[in-house]
Amino acid sequence: MAKNKKQKEEIIDENGKDTATAEPQQEEQTTAKEAEKTELTPEEEIVELKQQVGELKDKYLRVYAEFENFRKRSVREKLDMMKTAAQDTMTVLLPVLDDFDRAKKAADSPDSEEKFSEGIELLYHKLHNILKNKGLESMESNGETFDVELHEAITEIPAPTEEMKGKVIDTVEKGYKLKDKIIRHAKVVVGK
């Protein structure tokens, strides 16, 4: 009996009202107040819906623009990668081309005992043509004005004439471009 009395005392609050019945009444009052707040006139509801539609359109346009930029960027990156995909292979072949050029130059000199055979000459031209078709170009440097974007100066020597000052006198190692992108700067001797 004492327990039942305590339970009854807990249910009845200070004002003498039963708390078990008071809670549902409070909930009904708060939901009624919320309903009054959320009840909008049709004009207000239209304005609010138009605002939401505007916000959603703005979000959609932004996401669409972001996607388009991503698509264009990835296409551009793929094209760039395809253009320079062979760059590593070409860079590894450059010393072989240099050796070929030196051998041909030595064989073409009048005092040389060794001559390029016709087969080696054909291979030389075929290799150069294939690499040229793939976009590899050698840069001509002799006699041109020294340009730090294209040339790497190894040394400076006194210019033989006044006109050769600041110009490339000799090319030690050819420079190469792969589809207008420099893959090796020409190593040159500059006149001062």
Give the per-residue pLDDT at 36.
52
CATH code of domain 87-191: 2.30.22.10
Each residue's pLDDT tens digit, 38-48: 677 889 999 99
Q: Is the pLDDT of residue 8 over 50?
A: no
Three-state SS letters, the chain: CHHHHHHHHHHECCCCCEHHHHHHHHHHHHHHHHHHHHCCCHHHHHHHHHHHHHHHHHHHHHHHHHHHHHHHHHHHHHHHHHHCCCHHHHHHHHHHHHHHHHHHHHHHCCCCCCCCCHHHHHHHHHHHHHHHHCCEEEECCCCCECCCCCEEEEEEECCCCHHHCCEEEEEEECEEEECCEEEECEEEEEEC
Each residue's pLDDT tens digit, 160-192: 888 888 889 988 899 999 888 889 999 999 988
Instruction: For residue 72, name the pLDDT band (cuts at 50, 70, 90).
Output: very high
Question: Which one is predicted more confidently, 77 or 110?
Answer: 77
Q: Is the pLDDT of residue 2 over 90?
A: no
